Amino acid sequence: MTDPTTDSAGNTEDAAAARASLETLRTEIAKAVVGQDPAVTGLVVALLCRGHVLLEGVPGVAKTLLVRALASALELDTKRVQFTPDLMPSDVTGSLVYDTRTAEFSFQPGPVFTNLLLADEINRTPPKTQSSLLEAMEERQVTVDGTPRPLPEPFLVAATQNPVEYEGTYPLPEAQLDRFLLKLTIPLPSREDEIDVLTRHASGFDPRDLRAAGLRPVAGPADLEAARAAVARTTVSAEITAYVVDICRATRQSPSLTLGVSPRGATALLAAARAWAWLTGRDYVTPDDVKALALPALRHRVQLRPEAEMEGVTADSVINSVLAQVPVPR
């Protein structure tokens, strides 16, 4: 019989080693991507929560490079799908192909069978193809011809969309937006960061060759598994749970919104805060952890009234207002 004391000590050591490995991700990814620490942290939080991420930013801010660098630093398989108006669901999930040698149909897996799927410009494909990802994101499987096929573990969808160009796009329905754990905005770099980017390119940096940039694996699936187990042991008090619920309920009463945060959104916020608390070295969640993850976890789950949007109100400003009004537990 296993000694509980020894088992607990082993878990603690594994968790500490996993945290140390994940903390080095920022340094490693910075060899390829300049100044996007919040996005790196958000992607790691999503991996720890078994969630998915929507990346929003104008073209050319290294969204694709960020996902590729993360996959390389974590030694995970990654595939990229460019979403276009003529993309079919089978182009994502895979299809049955007739084999003339055996006179039978065999399944050819699509790009969704990977660890990190980069769904580039997801809002450029029609809803039928967008919905092909729903089962994969929620159930972590793909059903083809009535047969469910499990996806690899870990599995994360990082979808990108352009916030300024809407011609020829198909906005994601609320049901699919709600499946993303976090929505991360990728800003334009500061002047200093942009100078750093150009200096690297002038020195021969090739974004297609991450190995040449010195980027190496610093963590792996075993570290993620140990980290997830440690996150699951992170304490959440009744006061913190009530605080999360109060924040989400307050969005439903906001006069600027037609749609507030659903119970799934409350669950996502609590899970993300829990992962962030563990990443910062604590085994319990504080109100500050909840506040730190409120914007990325909730901004895509609310819907503004047209009149509020015309007045310049944003989802972020509404959530910040709610955070300022809801009493913080002590």
| pLDDT by 10s per residue, the chain, length 330 | 445 444 555 577 778 888 888 888 888 888 888 888 889 899 999 999 999 999 998 888 888 889 889 999 988 899 999 988 888 988 999 888 887 788 788 888 989 999 999 999 888 888 888 888 888 888 898 888 788 899 998 999 999 988 776 666 788 878 788 889 999 999 888 999 999 999 998 988 888 888 888 888 988 888 899 999 999 999 999 999 999 999 999 999 999 999 999 999 999 999 999 999 999 999 999 999 999 999 999 999 999 999 998 998 999 999 999 999 999 998
- Alpha carbon distances (Å) from 45 to 48, 130, 280: 5, 24, 11
Chain centroid to Cα 197, Å, comes to 24
Which of 110, 94, 99 lies closest to 145, judged by CA? 94
Task: Give yes or no for a contact between 232 and 49, defined as CB atoms under 8 angstroms apart.
Answer: no
Which of 82, 54, 61 lies closest to 189, judged by CA? 61
Compute the distance between CA of residue 141 and CA of residue 109 in angstroms, rounded to an integer. 12
pTM, entire model: 0.88
- Alpha carbon distances (Å) from 161 to 96, 170, 204: 30, 11, 29
Compute the distance between CA of residue 208 and CA of residue 240 in angstroms, rounded to an integer. 44
Question: What class, spelled out in words, does domain 234-329 have in CATH?
Answer: mainly alpha
Q: What is the CA radius of gyration of the chain?
A: 21
Strands of the chain, DSSP E: 53-56, 78-82, 94-99, 104-109, 116-120, 141-144, 147-150, 156-161, 182-185, 257-259, 303-304
Question: What class, spelled out in words, does domain 37-208 have in CATH?
Answer: alpha beta
| Three-state secondary structure call for residue 89 | helix
The domain segmentation of the chain, as residue ranges, is 37-208, 234-329
Give the phi and the psi of residue 69 in degrees, each rounded to 5.
-65, -40
